[in-house]
Amino acid sequence: MPDIVVHHPATNPARHDTFYRLDARNRVWVARRNLPRLLVPVNLATWRLITLWRIRDRKALRVTLAGFREGLSGGQGRRRPMSWRTVLRLTTAGRPPIF
């Protein structure tokens, strides 16, 4: 019904451990599924360093690293990596797929 208005309270998703775990797991899955094999370790290393720099809470960091491990264990679905031409186009547009 398009005329129904629904209001949800504005909450910060980062307040939940599940957010950190799923965010890290999904980053790994997206990289493994969509990037050329040579770029997957570069992408994951970059995100791991950024994560270590950003997250100061030890519990959140522990949950995030568990999510990284969970993503590496599989479940990302069928690989359909982008072409190197797409990587070049993204990079020249200022959006390299490594970050």
pLDDT score for 13 = 72
pLDDT score for 56 = 86
Residue 58 vs residues 14, 17, 62: alpha-carbon distances, Å: 14, 12, 6
The answer to whether position 26 is within a domain reads yes
DSSP single-letter state for residue 92: H
Spatial CB neighbours of 49, under 8 Å, sequence gap ≥ 6:
none
The answer to whether position 79 is within a domain reads yes
Neighbours of 28 (CB within 10 A): 24
pLDDT score for 88 = 96
The total number of structural domains in the chain stands at 1
The answer to whether position 68 is within a domain reads yes
pLDDT score for 33 = 96
Q: Measured between alpha carbons, how far is 76 from 78 in angstroms, rounded to an integer?
A: 7
pLDDT tens for the chain, 99 residues long, are 788 888 878 777 777 888 899 999 999 999 999 999 999 999 999 999 999 999 888 999 999 999 999 999 988 899 999 999 999 999 999 999 887
Q: Which domain holds residue 88?
A: 14-92
The answer to whether position 9 is within a domain reads no
pLDDT score for 16 = 82
Among the listed residues 44, 41, 65, the one whose alpha carbon sits nearest the alpha carbon of residue 55: 65
